[in-house]
Amino acid sequence: MTRKNTYNRLARLDLLASRLKADELLTIGILATELGVSRRTLSRDLNILRDRGLPIETDAGRGGGVRLHRTWGVGRLTLNYQESIELLFSIAIAEKLQAPWMFGNAASIRHKLVASFSSNIRNSIKGLRQRIHVGKTTTVQIFSSFSFPQTQYMTVIFQAFLEMRTLKITYTDVDGNYSQRYIEPHHLLLCNPVWYLYAWDDEKSAVRCFRCDRIQSASVEEAPFPPRPYHFFASAITSMGADTI
């Protein structure tokens, strides 16, 4: 086979794979016509793609359909770092809620997800569920002033929380006053739908609670922090009707 013919076949295989991934109703005849080849050549091309790992299914007969198995892309699913963190937190919350219908295979998913992180992050993940708490549904009074937190800031909070790194935030208090804080995010509490962040404020040398929907900006600092004993935070968390660790 000449170099030109080899190139043409490779280009045709790429085009054929793209057509199959488009999830349209296709037949051997339609594909052969589109690609300008015989049915026999198309069959050989389909076998090559099968050898490459594409799970191609065909129906018997001259007019038989051609398609990829409905789960063909699942095993190739790729998540970026932030998406992995968000999924990890979603699983932890479902487990804290004891809601197996949300993640029936939570343990299996978590094990696979944890394996994708570096060893130092995996150590932090081990204690993740003990740092996430679930309390009672929020009161009508609090809900009246609630607005959903900005997604990008929650993602940053989750990252700093998981990596145990200092968080720089701009915060608006109940009176509308702005302040900039450097805090250690130690515990998260969900009183549906309100998230509370329990942190150690170095400047105040004390535990402080922040409503996540009042955080106006957030960024992760380089400085890591060591875990502080749970009893520093226990009374504040349990006073919200939350679980204990």
- Of 24 and 244, the one with more pLDDT: 24
- Of 10 and 183, the one with more pLDDT: 183
Distance of CA 125 to the CA centre of its chain: 14
- Average pLDDT on 77-100 reads 82
Encoded tokens for 202:
């170095």
What mean pLDDT is reported for the chain? Answer: 85
Predicted local confidence at residue 27, as pLDDT: 87
Domains of the chain, start order: 3-74 (1.10.10.10), 81-238 (no CATH)
Predicted local confidence at residue 184, as pLDDT: 97
The residue to which tokens 């197996």 are assigned:
100
- Beta-sheet strands, E only, within 14-120: 26-27, 56-58, 65-68
Encoded tokens for 109:
């998913």
Predicted local confidence at residue 96, as pLDDT: 81
* C-beta neighbour count of 187 within 10 angstroms: 24
Predicted local confidence at residue 181, as pLDDT: 94
Q: With CA atoms as reference, report the closest residue to 45 among 70, 28, 23.
A: 28
* Structural contact between residues 240 and 196, judged by C-beta atoms closer than 8 angstroms: yes
Predicted local confidence at residue 56, as pLDDT: 83
- Of 175 and 98, the one with more pLDDT: 175
What pLDDT digit, counting tens, does each position of 56-74 carry? Answer: 888 765 556 888 776 666 5
* For the chain, percent of residues with pLDDT exceeding 70: 88
Dihedral sign for Cα atoms in the order 130, 135, 138, 139: negative
* For the chain, percent of residues with pLDDT exceeding 90: 37
> Does 228 have pLDDT greater than 90?
yes
Between 6-10, 122-126, 131-135, the lowest mean confidence (pLDDT) is in 6-10
Predicted local confidence at residue 7, as pLDDT: 56
Model confidence at 152, pLDDT cuts 50, 70, 90, reads confident
> Does 116 have pLDDT greater than 90?
no
- Average pLDDT on 78-104 reads 79
pTM confidence score: 0.68
Predicted local confidence at residue 21, as pLDDT: 78
